[in-house]
Amino acid sequence: MPTNFDFLKPNTQFSSFIETAVQAEIVLHISPALCATACRTALEFAVKWLYSVDKYLAKPSDTRLAALISSEYLRDLLPKGLFPKIDYIRKIGNNATHKGNIPLTPSDVKALEHLLWNELGTKEQYDEHCKCMPLGEFVRSVVGLSQHAANEAFSAFLNNAGLDSRQMHFVRHIVSYIVKNGMIKDIAILRESPFSDLGGIGEVFDDVAVFTRLRTVIETINANAAA
């Protein structure tokens, strides 16, 4: 299915956001909320890419999307009238994703199945390309999880676990990973960088009960992505 973003695909410098932009267009007819979420995610990836490649563009200390797009340095680069449009994408994306840590409804799943397995291809093609990934996981892998939803999922744990500074840093890495990737399907990823830069899991979380509670939060997020 051709999309409005296909012309960007041959250029690898846009790889950090092109697939999310393409998927946002694809899911429009399935769920406007999912489309809005993916649009916001693609916008954030694109803005962060712009800051990373333009050495003259001063990045603000506040790295939230609202601050990044409101920077006077960035706004000076934007064509007249563009800022209200990208800020609108940010706002509708926020509204759609503030409750992002919830399962797809049965009607969402049916609509997604119809689009992917009838209009865009077949179930066999989907299974081959996505390695039989459940549809909920596919959606989560495309749009990620909103910062708000991720923070909300971990809030009780962070407030009640009595974590030290290294443990807090470790959990922040987990939240960042989930915001970008939607979930942590394989807990073994926590043995790799950047998590391992802080020490082994058993070293950072020497209290097994605390790590068990952390793992429960991760597994709950994963379960909500399943469909």
pLDDT > 70 fraction of the chain, expressed in percent and rounded: 92
What does the pLDDT look like over 81-124, one tens digit per residue?
899 899 988 888 876 765 567 666 677 677 777 767 876 678 88
Vertex 90 angle, CA 87 and 96, to 5°: 145
Length in residues, the chain: 227
The mean pLDDT value for 210-220 works out to 94
Going from N- to C-terminal start, the domains of the chain cover 6-97, 115-227
Q: What is the pTM of this model?
A: 0.57
Contact yes or no for 145/68 (Cβ under 8 A)? no
Vertex 139 angle, CA 148 and 25, to 5°: 100
